[in-house]
Amino acid sequence: MNPDIDAIRARFPSLSTQDDGISRVYFDNPAGTQVPASVAKAVADCMIESCANQKGPFRTSRRVDKLISDARDAMADLLNAESADEIVFGQSMTALTFSLARSIGPTLTPGDEIIVSQMDHDANITPWVMMARDHDLRIRWLPFSIETYEFDLADLDELLTDRTRMVCVGGASNLTGTLHDIKAICARARDAGALSFIDGVQSVPHVPTDVRDLGCDFLACSAYKFFGPHQGVLWGRREAFAPLTAYQVRPAPSAIPGNFETGTPSFELMAGTKAAVEYFDWIGTNMAADYMDRFEHLAGRRQRLHAAFGLLADYEQGLSSHLIAGLQSINGVTVHGVTDADAMHRRVPTVSFTAGQKDPQTIAEALDEENMFVWHGHNYAVEVVKALGLEDRGGVVRVGPVHYNTPSELDRLLDSLESRILSA
Ligand SMILES: Cc1ncc(COP(=O)(O)O)c(C=O)c1O
C-alpha cells in the first residue's frame, strides 16, 4: 500500500514554492526537512497564546506546562519510551550529547574504554573523544567495511572488553545511508556490561523507532530532521540517567528531565515537535491501516505512529532503488553505500555519489541552478569520507529524498545529471 503523496505534499506549503516559475526540489533533507503548515502554526500559536515561562500560577504559564507535558508524551509515543519523564529537550542533538558526556565522564575510571564508530557523524564522536580526554579514558574505533558499507559485528566483539563502558553508534549513516543492526549492537554492549548511546538523528525520520525493543540506554534525535523545528531530543532509560549528576543551577529541578534541561527551554519548539509527531499520527490514522498488525504490541497513538513509519519506510525503499538504479546507469558515477536492489531495507534513502574527478561542490551548484537542492562534502561524517579516500576530493554529493519526494522529482535530478551536468 502506498501513502497518499498528494495529500502529504499538500500539508507542506514550501513544497509548492516556485522561483522564477521553477518548482523547488528538496533533496537536502538529511540536513533538515521541510515542515507541515501545522508545525509552523504550532510554533506561532505558542508564541502568541502561551508566551510565558513555566510553572507559574497563571493561565499562560499553565498552558506552557501543559504543552511541555504533551510534547514529552508525544516524543515518548514516537520512541515507545516507558515514561515521558525520560524525554529531554535541548538545543540540538550535538548540544545534548556534549551535556550528557559531561555528566557521564565523572562516573568513569581512568583506563575505561568507549567504543565509537568510523561510520558516525562527528556529533557522536567528538563528545566522547573529549570526555575520554578529560577523564583519561581510551577510545576504541569500530570500523566499517568499504565493500559492504556495514559493520562486521565480529569487529565489535573483538573491541568489547571488561573495560568497555559505552558503545556509541548511529542508527543510520548520514552519508552512506546504511541502517545499522542497532538491536544486535545494543545486546552485545549490554552483555559486556556497557551502556549504549544511539545517534538516531538519521534513523528516526525513516523507520519505526522503539527504544525498548532496541534495548539501548540512550537515544538522541533532532526534530528538524523529522519535519519539526530546530530542536534536539534525548531519551534515556530512567536507570541510565540515575547515577548521573546534571550540570544545572541550584533552584532547577533535581530529577529528570528538568535537571538536564538547563536554563529556560524553547517552549515554542516543543510545540512544533509535538505537531510534527501529530503529523505522523495523521498518516498513521489515514493511510497506514495495513501496517497496524505489525505493531500489535503497541496501542493507540504509539501503534499509529509506528504503523505510519512502517508505511513510509516501504515507500522510501522504492525511492532508494529508483535513485540508485538511475545514478548507476550514468557513466562514471559511483554510489557510496548499499546498492543491492534486495537490500534496500538495510539503508535509508540518503544516497551519496561521486562522478569521476568532478568536484562535488560544482555538481551541487549546477543542480541549484535548476532549483534542486543537495549537499556535498563530508557532511560532518569526516571519518567516513576519510575511509572512502574522498577527503581530498571534496567528499561526495548527497541526495537525500524523504517520503514527500516523488519518483518524478528523482527523474528530474537524474535527467539533469545525465544530460547536462555530468556530460559536460
Ligand atoms: C547522524 C547525525 N547525527 C547528529 C547530527 C547533529 O544533529 P544536530 O544538528 O541536532 O546537533 C546530524 C546532523 O546532521 C546527523 O546527521
230 and 203 part of one domain: yes
Q: Kindly state if the Cβ of 94 falls inside 6 Å of ligand 1.
A: yes
Question: What is the distance in A from the centroid of ligand 1 to the CA of 93?
Answer: 6
100 and 247 part of one domain: yes
Read off the pTM: 0.98
Residue nearest atom 7 of ligand 1, based on CA coordinates: 93
Nearest to 170 by CA among 204, 146, 135, 210: 204
28 and 103 part of one domain: no
What single string gives the DSSP state of each residue in 322-342?
HHHHHHHTSTTEEE-S---GG
User: Are the beta carbons of 231 and 218 closer than 8 angstroms?
Assistant: no
Q: Would 283 be classed as within a structural domain?
A: no
162 and 65 part of one domain: yes
Cell 521553477 maps to which residue? 22
Pocket test for ligand 1, best of 29, 94, 218, 233 (most atoms within 8 A of CB): 94
Q: Would 180 be classed as within a structural domain?
A: yes
97 and 179 part of one domain: yes
Q: Kindly state if the Cβ of 372 falls inside 6 Å of ligand 1.
A: no
186 and 220 part of one domain: yes
Q: Kindly state if the Cβ of 231 falls inside 6 Å of ligand 1.
A: no
214 and 322 part of one domain: no
Q: Kindly state if the Cβ of 92 falls inside 6 Å of ligand 1.
A: yes
Q: Kindly state if the Cβ of 199 falls inside 6 Å of ligand 1.
A: yes
Residue 155 in grid coordinates: 569487529
Going by their DSSP bridges, the two strands 25-26 and 372-373 should be labelled as parallel
333 and 363 part of one domain: yes
Give the single-character DSSP code of 85. Answer: G
Going by their DSSP bridges, the two strands 232-236 and 195-199 should be labelled as unpaired
351 and 241 part of one domain: no
User: Are the beta carbons of 24 and 373 closer than 8 angstroms?
Assistant: yes
Pocket test for ligand 1, best of 96, 120, 125, 174 (most atoms within 8 A of CB): 174
Question: What is the distance in A from the centroid of ligand 1 to the CA of 380?
Answer: 8
Question: What is the distance in A from the centroid of ligand 1 to the CA of 20?
Answer: 32
What is the domain count for the chain?
A: 2
Q: Would 85 be classed as within a structural domain?
A: yes
Q: Kindly state if the Cβ of 31 falls inside 6 Å of ligand 1.
A: yes
Pocket test for ligand 1, best of 225, 273, 376, 379 (most atoms within 8 A of CB): 225
241 and 311 part of one domain: no
Domain endpoint, select from 219, 244, 277 = 277
Q: Would 292 be classed as within a structural domain?
A: no
Question: What is the distance in A from the centroid of ligand 1 to the CA of 305?
Answer: 22
Domain endpoint, select from 277, 311, 333 = 277
The enclosing domain of 267 has a CATH number of 3.40.640.10
Residue 368 in grid coordinates: 541549484
Which domain range does residue 91 map to?
Answer: 40-277
Sequence-separated (6 or more) residues with CB below 8 Å from residue 134: 105
Q: Kindly state if the Cβ of 202 falls inside 6 Å of ligand 1.
A: yes
Q: Kindly state if the Cβ of 174 falls inside 6 Å of ligand 1.
A: yes
115 and 261 part of one domain: yes
Residue nearest atom 13 of ligand 1, based on CA coordinates: 31
Length of the chain: 424
User: Are the beta carbons of 333 and 357 closer than 8 angstroms?
Assistant: no
Residue nearest atom 12 of ligand 1, based on CA coordinates: 201
Question: What is the distance in A from the centroid of ligand 1 to the CA of 228?
Answer: 14
190 and 314 part of one domain: no
Q: Kindly state if the Cβ of 121 falls inside 6 Å of ligand 1.
A: yes
**Residue ranges for the chain with pLDDT beneath 70:** 424
The enclosing domain of 348 has a CATH number of 3.90.1150.10
Question: What is the distance in A from the centroid of ligand 1 to the CA of 326?
Answer: 28
Q: Which atom of ligand 1 is nearest to the CA of 92?
A: 10
Question: What is the distance in A from the centroid of ligand 1 to the CA of 199?
Answer: 8
Q: Would 233 be classed as within a structural domain?
A: yes
Pocket test for ligand 1, best of 380, 383, 384 (most atoms within 8 A of CB): 380
Question: What is the distance in A from the centroid of ligand 1 to the CA of 383?
Answer: 15
Query: Helix or strand or coil: residue 199?
Result: strand
- pLDDT per residue over 342-399, tens digit each? 999 999 999 999 999 999 999 999 999 999 999 999 999 999 999 999 999 999 999 9
